[in-house]
Amino acid sequence: MNRASGILMHITSLPQEEGIGTFGSKAYEFADFLKASDQTYWQILPLGPVGYGNSPYQAFSAFAGNPYMIDLQKLVDDGLLSKEEDIILDKIGTDSGKVGFDTITPLKLNLLHKAYEASKKDKNIKEEIEVFKEENANWLADYSLFMAIKDEFNQVSWQLWDKPIKCREQAALDEYKVKLEDEVEFWNFVQYEFSKQWHELKAYVNSLGIKIIGDIPIYVSADSSDTWAQPELFKLDEDCQPITVAGCPPDAFTEDGQLWGNPIYDWDYIDATNYKWWIERMKQNAKLYDMIRIDHFRGFESFWEVPFGEETAKNGKWTKGPGFKLFKAINKELGNIAIIAEDLGFITDEVIELRDKTGYPGMKILEFAFDPKGESEHLPHNCNKDSVAYLGTHDNETIVGWMESPVNKKAFAFAKRYLRLTKKEGYAWGFIRGLWSTPSNLAVAQMQDILELDNSARMNIPSTVGDNWNWKMKKDALTGDIVKKLKRLTKTYGRKVDKDAKRSVKK
């Protein structure tokens, strides 16, 4: 990586009028903001169809896209929704600073169904969908059938479906493919539209000289088309229930550890298939993004495995992962993909050795840096060049929230001395200055920190379910003053975007 900087801003957090961020006009405006402020990277969270708790890390598929990111206005412009439907968009809209998932989900699905009905009359779209189905045959057919059956069973987890279809008996599969044919085609249409709109947006972003960093979870959801369609990839019992689940052990932040509940991979089986599924997954993500951040990278060296049914993660154990063999297989098939290794948590010499062997840059977090003892590897002067530096990630407090926390009183006092923070500059902007000044080739700040927001704008509190993943930026939040501050810092610390990048794609 060349020396550069970027902003972490998830699609759903964009201030689109539909009440949730989409691939619509506000996404293009945000790309323009990045260009105007000399940023080189736009980092987002996973784009998968959210499941339990609206978490992008618990998606119904490791390959499919979130239907609620589809921009409805584009469907109006394409003639798939009428102008009368355009009025309905205002009813979804909100500028409350939160995404109203419960309100948005049924309304958008209803409008997407109407758009699908209209698409049946468009010969060109029908032909394009057939091409899309063929190009994505390795995952799309199973996903669309899974979603159609899930609707049939009132959204319950597939482990609770009738046994014949739960266990994918051929007669049951044949029956549901016929019975739910139209609904399956609806989900094919949704994924076609998602892909079309995303790649149009990505082409525009890239035309500005900006690269997109995507994020993929190491694990998949227990309730996903992946576990249903290919249960042999996971440690499941004869009744298709997980034998063990993922999490992380107790630490200074959580005395019970974190119990994520994702099924554990059967790495012996995956190894015997030459890592085919993982190669296909990385291939799909390489089409979506310019760089990929792999969440919980340490799990490839060793992972915390907890018996299914445990109420906490305390009684887990460390189990060896696939190690370098996985990445060797990926590189052999796909070549060198730009990857960031999320090497946070309980890190051992073995994890560092694996990361260094892959050549992937790791991560540094300034919120972890200011131990009053002054010994942290996350301190700016300890950041190595081949790393990506953050104030915090989606799992951390905002920097303002971190400063306000009584727990961090001594750490904040150290940070004020170290970074020479002043009220005149603004403490948050002093942290951003410190981040931009690190030796790390890439520095990334959350949009919430650029806006100096407190923990009410926090994206996620790990190991909790409820008020997560729903922060939404106010429509008037991006100002000329913010652009000037970012431009100045980016130029001062040698992170300026390529000035010769040209706009070659229309909005």
| Percent of the chain topping pLDDT 70 | 95
| Percent of the chain topping pLDDT 90 | 86
Between β-strands 339-341 and 291-294, what pairing exists: parallel, antiparallel or unpaired?
parallel
> What is the average pLDDT across 458-485?
93
> Which segments of 120-232 does DSSP mark as H helices, in order?
123-135, 140-152, 163-166, 170-179, 181-207, 225-229
pLDDT at 372 over 90: no
- pLDDT tens-digit readout, 266-294: 999 999 999 999 999 999 999 999 999 99
**How far apart are alpha carbons 482 and 317 in whole angstroms?**
47
pTM for the model: 0.95
pLDDT at 264 over 70: yes
Q: For this structure, is 395 an active site residue?
A: yes
Residue 361 has a CB neighbour count (10 Å cut-off) of 24
Among residues 85, 215, 295, 449, the one annotated as catalytic is 295
Residue with tokens 């206005």: 73
Of 336, 408, 244, nearest to 1 by C-alpha is 336
Token pair belonging to 35: 């260009």
- pLDDT tens-digit readout, 388-404: 999 999 999 999 999 99
> What is the average pLDDT across 153-170?
96
Among residues 38, 185, 226, 395, the one annotated as catalytic is 395
Quick one: pLDDT at residue 504? 41
Q: For this structure, is 117 an active site residue?
A: no
Q: For this structure, is 239 an active site residue?
A: no
- pLDDT confidence bin for 18, thresholds 50/70/90: confident
- pLDDT tens-digit readout, 400-454: 999 999 999 999 999 999 999 999 999 999 999 999 999 999 999 999 999 999 9
**How far apart are alpha carbons 418 and 370 in whole angstroms?**
9
Among residues 342, 343, 397, 449, the one annotated as catalytic is 342
Name the β-bridge partners of 95. none
